[in-house]
A and B are shown apart, each in its own frame.
Chain A
Amino acid sequence: MATSTKDDDDGHNFPEDLAREILVRLSVELSLLLFKCVCKSWCTLIKSSSFISDHFHYNKNKRRSQLLIVYDCCEDIVDSGSMTIVSEDKIGETSLIAKFDHDLQGQGFGDLSNLIEEDNSQREDNCSILSFDFDNDVFREIGGPDITPYNYNHLDLTSLILLDDSIAILNSTESVYDIWVPFNALPIL
């Protein structure tokens, strides 16, 4: 029998290792969330923690906002400690930082919804999240996920987490965990 790697049958299954090489280069919000619907094996691949991890590291240096999807396996990625601050105001007005708690570090999660609720004058659409650089005493605003026309407000977001050396926002709905990694945030040193 002839050995051929392609077009062996009607299925013409696209090799998964090649699909992976291509998919890891796609943007999550433009493509990967849709392409889960292409077929079951792509869905399994895109949801797998090894793919999520590869995708994260591949795109880490691209300097654009990324969304990672994690399914019931977030403890694989979620490390400890978060040093991020919530404020209702724009960057610069650092005196109005609602709360910062050193104890967040090491706990794994800072519960964003609690921090927001403490300030009851807060409106959904003018929340912002700041990162703080301890070495330089600098705050920087972390933008929300950039997806139009979908309105993603910070009150939907449940937790701040530390993903490798980046701040990330974890949002869970039922079995789906979305992790937003805003790359304009200062890295945690």
Chain B
Amino acid sequence: MASSSSSSKTGLKKMLTLKSSDGDEFELEESIVIQCQTIKHMVEDGFSLIPLQNVDTKTLTKIIEYMKKHAEKTESNKEEIKNFNKEFVKGSFDDQFELVSAANYLHINGLMDLLCQSIADRINNKSVRAVREIFNISNDYTPDEEEKVRDEHKWAHEGGEFDESLD
């Protein structure tokens, strides 16, 4: 079995355990996990078991998938990483919001940028109504107030078709 060589290899590497808010533990090489600034600082402070109270198992699994892939980044696999990123941002808005919230908490800058850009691209040209739905924001304007804000740049509201879809 090939495990002897791989285990001796991993034996040299420092391992860390991440614990999700659901209590699941994930063991990972330190070199992968230090892409995440929050964890990096904890490692520097001597922690090897990192509890992540704000990140559930589902989200953490996705984030680990991202960190593993990006730890492999070299000059020659740029295309592969690009395709991976493209697939990675394909989930629903709610999934993306969970991820972006976790990426923000964990300070993974590359992931933060990827997710925010993807969400921005998806909501560009959406209607105001659709954006409220997607972000689950309730309209706190009175009709008069909203009309006034709308009038500040009326032309922008008249500029053609807006995307009403919620995905």
A39 close to B137 (CB less than 8 A): yes
Q: Which residues of B contact A31 (CB under 8 A)?
A: 123-126
A26 close to B101 (CB less than 8 A): no
Of B1-9, B35-43, B154-162, the stretch lying at the interface with chain A is B154-162
Decide if A100 is an interface residue (CB 8 Å cutoff): no
Please report the C-alpha to C-alpha distance between residue A180 and residue B57 in the assembled complex, in whole angstroms.
Answer: 46
Decide if B86 is an interface residue (CB 8 Å cutoff): no
> Looking at A23, A38, A176, which has the most chain B CB atoms within 10 Å of its CB?
A38
A19 close to B157 (CB less than 8 A): no
A5 close to B101 (CB less than 8 A): yes
A36 and B152 in contact, given A27-B124, A150-B159 (Cβ under 8 angstroms): yes
Cβ-defined partner of B141 (8 Å) among A21, A30, A37, A148:
A37
Contact with A along B142-153 (1 / 0, CB 8 A): 000010011011
A6-33 interface (Cβ within 8 A of B): 6, 11-15, 17-19, 21-23, 25-27, 29-31, 33
Of B12-20, B76-84, B112-120, the stretch lying at the interface with chain A is B112-120
B149 close to A26 (CB less than 8 A): no
B134: min CB distance to chain A, Å:
9
> Looking at A11, A39, A43, which has the most chain B CB atoms within 10 Å of its CB?
A39
A83-129 interface (Cβ within 8 A of B): none
Decide if B104 is an interface residue (CB 8 Å cutoff): yes
A147 and B128 in contact, given A21-B104, A37-B150, A39-B137 (Cβ under 8 angstroms): no
A selection of 28 A-B contacts at a CB cut-off of 8 Å is: A5-B101, A13-B137, A14-B97, A14-B135, A18-B97, A18-B104, A18-B116, A21-B112, A22-B120, A23-B120, A25-B116, A25-B120, A29-B159, A31-B124, A33-B153, A33-B156, A33-B157, A34-B157, A34-B162, A37-B128, A38-B131, A39-B139, A39-B141, A40-B141, A42-B137, A147-B155, A148-B159, A150-B155
Cβ-closest 10 pairs across A and B: A25-B120, A33-B156, A150-B155, A33-B153, A21-B116, A12-B136, A14-B135, A37-B128, A22-B116, A39-B137
On B, residues with C-beta under 8 Å from A are: 53-54, 97-98, 100-101, 104-105, 112, 116-117, 119-121, 123-128, 131-132, 135-141, 146, 149-150, 152-153, 155-160, 162
On A, residues with C-beta under 8 Å from B are: 3, 5-6, 11-15, 17-19, 21-23, 25-27, 29-31, 33-40, 42-43, 69, 147-150, 176
